[in-house]
Amino acid sequence: MKNVANKETLLVALGGNALLRQGEEGTIAEQFANLRLPMRQVARLSRRYRIIITHGNGPQVGNLLLQQESCAAVPKLPLEILVAQTQGQIGYMIESTLDSELAALGSGKRHLVSLISYVVVDASDPAFREPSKPVGPFYREEEAKGLPWPVRKTPKGYRRVVASPRPVTIVEKSEIRALIDMDFIVICCGGGGIPVIREGRAFHGVDAVIDKDLASARLAGEVGVEILVIATDVPGVALGYGSTGERFLDRLTVAAARRHLEQGEFPAGSMGPKVEAALQFMEGGGKRAVICGIDEIEAAAAGRAGTEVLLG
Ligand code: ADP
Ligand code: MG
């Protein structure tokens, strides 16, 4: 536990695509293989920083929903339970891969833990009146009509839509703080956290999905993080993304980020929440926020890759 007090804390938010990439079948072997390079980098970074890892779960929770649809023999599970399942499944994969990479590095024994995490949302969040986040399988129009949830037409077919309320607070923040103070590497807030509403001292799970980037920014503010690295499947933030004039940025000021967000450069549900999370983090006193490719976590933490979001 020596020198822990002097170590800065680094939060790495891994995109769901870190595990399950487009064009792959999505087998467990592929998911483990995709984790190796990011975890090798996190293992090296853990020598200098206290580490928190958060992760997405989009493709995994979509697959669990699809499995439920294909089985009439057992009762269907609510979304909050599926999110909890993905925290266990992905937490296990991250933890075991990171453990192997730490061993390969010859690091002394490090304590790792993955934490089932609740995130409080506000029952009066306007997002509940307007479910907007598509999840799970695609349906034909006739199938979609008989479903018990709100659905929306998307370019590839009808999909279930759920509310995506804003994260208010991370229920386990004190536990996470205590664990990183003891130099545990903590994996938490998977899939944005299990969304819960507070009723007195009790919590109730709700059918919703919290954005994992916004949950990560909230967590960073609540436990005291110096560096936030949001790792995804593009090298950073671009202007004119997907157009012939596309240009990836090394830096983006908070003021410019706000302007571009308003102009629609960073869409809701993908780059928008990443930029917003970086803004919130920096305005809350963070030291460095970078959005980068999954293979450049180490360089991004040092300010040598990705798009850094800067105050001023
Ligand atoms: P993750 O699983 O890492 O959260 P997302 O799919 O939610 O990944 O967000 C990353 C995606 O954002 C990229 O794959 C890219 O297609 C999309 N994107 C939209 N606008 C931009 C932009 N301006 N710059 C870079 N990527 C963008
Ligand atoms: Mg995302």
Handedness of CA 126, 238, 55, 159 (dihedral sign): positive
Residues 200-207, mean pLDDT to the nearest whole number: 91
Q: Inform me whether the pLDDT recorded for 1 exceeds 60.
A: no
Which 8-state DSSP code applies to residue 165? P
Can you give the pTM of this predicted structure? 0.95
Q: Confirm whether 109 is a catalytic residue.
A: no
Q: What is the pLDDT of residue 109?
A: 80
Return the SS3 of 23: coil
Per-residue confidence (pLDDT) for residue 238, from 0 to 100: 97
**Best probe residue, ligand 1, of 230, 270, 276, 295 (max atoms within 8 Å of C-beta):** 270
Amino acid at 20: L
Residue 71 to residue 30: CA distance in whole angstroms = 25
Please write the tens of the pLDDT for every residue from 168-188.
Answer: 999 999 999 999 999 999 999
pLDDT tens-digit series, residues 8-61: 999 999 998 778 887 888 899 999 999 999 999 999 999 999 999 999 998 889
Confidence of residue 3 (pLDDT cuts 50, 70, 90): low
> What is the CATH number assigned to the segment(s) 2-115+171-225?
3.40.1160.10
Task: Choose the residue to mutate in 232, 243, 292 for probing ligand 1, maximizing ligand atoms within 8 Å of C-beta.
Answer: 232
For the question of residue 153 being annotated catalytic, the response is: no
Nearest CA to ligand 1 atom 19: 271
- Provide mean pLDDT across the span 243-269: 95
Cα distance between residue 81 and residue 57, in whole Å = 13
How many CB atoms neighbour CB 149 within 10 A? 13
Rounded Cα distance between 13 and 187, Å, is 10
For 94-150, the pLDDT digits (tens) are 999 999 999 999 977 889 999 999 999 999 999 999 988 888 778 899 989 888 888
**pLDDT of 147:** 85
Structure-block tokens of residue 46? 């853990």
User: Does ligand 1 come within 6 angstroms of the Cβ of 271?
Assistant: yes
Q: Is 23 assigned a catalytic role?
A: no
Residue 133 has a pLDDT of: 84
Q: Which atom of ligand 1 is nearest to the CA of 14?
A: 3
Instruction: Give me the count of residues in the chain.
Output: 312
Query: How does the average pLDDT of the chain come out, rounded?
Result: 93
Ranges 106-110, 201-205, 220-224, 284-288: which has the least confidence:
106-110
Q: How far is the CA of 259 from the centre of ligand 1 (A)?
A: 18
